[in-house]
Amino acid sequence: MRLSKKNAVVTGSSRGIGAEIARLFAREGATVVVSHRDSGPHKEEVVRSIKRAGGEALAIHCDVSDPSSVSSMYEEVEKSLGKIDVLVNSAGVSDGSLWNLPVNKTPLDAWRKVFAVDAFGTFLSTQGALKVMRKGGSVVNIASTPALAGDTEGLVYASAKGAVVSMTRMLAKSLAPGVRVNCMALGSIRTTWVDWLDRRQRDAYLSAIPMHRFGEPADVANLALFLASDESSFITGQVMVVDGGEVLR
Ligand code: NAP
């Protein structure tokens, strides 16, 4: 098993990509903290499915945009597990209404909302994790391909993810050699993000992807596993693209 004896926190793992990463990490031997913001049934389902498959997991509430919520989560993590080895910052705002806003109609609140979770949340959660990464560790961030290649839509998301890319590189240098920090830049992955595209948008997206399909959460989880595990022990500060070849065009 590639993560045996390791403890991992995955933020925003009540659903979507985070949930898939949590399940895969548990299958590979990690004890996983299913960090969730909602109070709905999703997180229990993720923890139950991990336990049913013979893995170890616990759910801990955390709104990554709230410093006190992040501190409480790591206090609880320390009490329950003592230390962590891996953090995946998967929490992100998914709100279709913010996607195709023209520049002159983009309210400042949209910037505050997305930056609070995607950029500041990634920072806060990483800052908290460092206090409980007793023997070093691996931080895996999530950005998106428009942050690297530009796009006509998603200005606010791409800008927040651009901050995540810079944070990855800055922290990789300052935290080496103890803690590695890498980032996955995602194209279109089949979660709620793809659900809110209309048919015309879906077709346009698919025709731009050389692999002719949307990514699956498992495609992302497989890379997260590699970056979390010791197999990537000489890799830090990197941004790896998971997009079916889309940014080649
Ligand atoms: P998703 O299905 O919408 O899930 C988002 C997750 O983030 C949910 O678990 C949500 O929790 C959590 N979250 C939102 N705000 C939070 C907060 N303040 N504190 C803690 N958790 C919070 O999205 P996804 O597609 O899995 O996205 C996962 C990551 O990949 C995100 O960072 C996203 O930006 C990035 N990404 C996705 C795609 C894609 O095509 N899917 C592309 C590029 C990048 P609740 O259940 O409480 O809402």
**Ligand 1 atom with least separation from CA of 65:** 18
List pLDDT tens digits, range 71-85.
999 999 999 999 999
The more confident residue out of 237 and 38 is: 237
Q: Is residue 249 part of a domain?
A: no
Q: Is residue 168 part of a domain?
A: yes
Q: Is residue 71 part of a domain?
A: yes
List pLDDT tens digits, range 4-33.
999 999 999 999 999 999 999 999 999 999
Q: Is residue 127 part of a domain?
A: yes
Q: Is residue 123 part of a domain?
A: yes
The yes-or-no verdict on residue 97 having pLDDT over 90 is no
How large is the average pLDDT for residues 40-59? 92
How large is the average pLDDT for residues 165-172? 98
How large is the average pLDDT for residues 52-81? 98
Residue 193 has a pLDDT of 81
Is the CB–ligand 1 distance for residue 189 below 6 Å?
yes
* CATH label of the domain that carries residue 58: 3.40.50.720
How large is the average pLDDT for residues 140-164? 96
Residue 72 has a pLDDT of 98
The more confident residue out of 201 and 114 is: 114
**Ligand 1 atom with least separation from CA of 118:** 32
Protein residue closest via CA to atom 17 of ligand 1: 63
Q: How many CB atoms lie within 10 A of CB 124?
A: 24
The CA-CA-CA angle for residues 67, 71, 73, to 5°, reads 115
* Percent of the chain whose predicted confidence (pLDDT) is above 70: 99
Protein residue closest via CA to atom 23 of ligand 1: 16
How large is the average pLDDT for residues 135-154? 96
Spatial neighbors of 134 by CB under 8 A, at least 6 apart, are 82, 83
Q: Within 176-232, where are the H helices?
A: 192-195, 199-207, 217-228
The yes-or-no verdict on residue 249 having pLDDT over 70 is no
Mean pLDDT across the chain: 95
How large is the average pLDDT for residues 90-117? 93
* Contact yes or no for 47/71 (Cβ under 8 A): no
Residue 169 has a pLDDT of 98
Residue 208 has a pLDDT of 93
Give residue 26's domain range: 7-242
Q: Is residue 248 part of a domain?
A: no
The yes-or-no verdict on residue 129 having pLDDT over 60 is yes
Most ligand 1 atoms within 8 A of CB, residue of 37, 65, 223 to mutate = 37
Residue owning tokens 């004896």 = 5
List pLDDT tens digits, range 211-242.
999 999 999 999 999 999 999 999 999 999 99
74, 115, 157, 193: the catalytic one is 157
Number of domains observed in the structure of the chain:
1
Is 205 one of the catalytic residues? Answer: no
Q: Is residue 2 part of a domain?
A: no
Q: Is residue 247 part of a domain?
A: no
Q: At what angle do helices 67-81 and 120-132 cross, to 10 degrees?
A: 30
